[in-house]
Structure 1
Amino acid sequence: MSDAPDIELSPSAAKRVATIAAKQGKAAMLRLSVDGGGCAGFQYVFGLADAVGEDDITAVRDGVTLVVDSVSLDLVRGAMVDYVESLGGAAFKVENPRAASGCGCGSSFSI
């Protein structure tokens, strides 16, 4: 059995979620889910969460909660959710060790 967390939230992602949630008057909870589709087979979907469900797994950093449902977790276990800013723009990014390949935009992947 590994001591590695199921999923992690980077400090920069936590800071960005806290900022967005404060502006919208919502709880600082980011939901990550995986849907079929995208140019590589699966795509990451992000949104603010209102609550944690019974089958959700959570990770907390700096008062911000990352919420992932158990089905999506099977596809992203061991991943780190980060927030990156570059010349091309700013976005949440999933560093997923289970992804065999991804697309150029970084929002979809295959296993």
Structure 2
Amino acid sequence: MDAATITLTPSAARRVAFIAEKQGKPAALRLAVEGGGCSGFQYRFGLAEGVEADDVISETDGVKLVVDSVSLDLVAGCVVDFVESMGGSMFKVENPQAVAGCGCGSSFAV
């Protein structure tokens, strides 16, 4: 699968750049999928310390979205956005493969 299968929105790219600058780290967000959560799988976000050989990278406005090859199978085609609302702000994954999700938005099933 190529990098076009995952997308970081400009809003999310701005937020990653802001967080990375505050922490003095490269502007790269790692998206991983772990077992657990209310629906079977959950998303895990963090600044990418480095890039592994099997990682897939998508770039928006100079900010990278890094996904490992195992997680990519579960998030191929996804869009990672950053949303702010009265309830708070968060990274949100729009995953076309998810057949079910939970109210918190961080857990899904395929």
TM above 0.5, yes or no, is yes
Q: Partners of 1:4 and 1:41 in 2: how far apart?
A: 25
- Alignment match, 2:56: 57
1:1-36 Cα deviation digits (max 9, x unpaired)? xx9921000000000000000000000000000000
Contact map agreement 2:3 2:57 (CA 8 A) in 1: no
Q: TM-score, length-normalised on structure 1?
A: 0.96
Please give the residue correspondences for 1:5-16 in structure 2 after superposition, counting only pairs within 5 Å: 5-16=4-15
- Alignment match, 2:106: 107
Q: What RMSD over aligned residues (CA atoms) do the two structures have, in Å?
A: 1.3
Q: Partners of 2:36 and 2:58 in 1: how far apart?
A: 26
Contact map agreement 2:27 2:63 (CA 8 A) in 1: yes
The number of residues matched between the two structures is: 109
Q: Partners of 1:15 and 1:101 in 2: how far apart?
A: 29
| 5+ residue gaps, structure 1 | none
Secondary structure (helix, strand or coil) at the match of 1:26 reads coil
Moved over 3 A (4+): none
Q: Partners of 1:22 and 1:33 in 2: how far apart?
A: 22
Q: Partners of 1:64 and 1:52 in 2: how far apart?
A: 13
| 5+ residue gaps, structure 2 | none
Contact map agreement 1:18 1:64 (CA 8 A) in 2: yes
Q: Partners of 1:38 and 1:69 in 2: how far apart?
A: 19
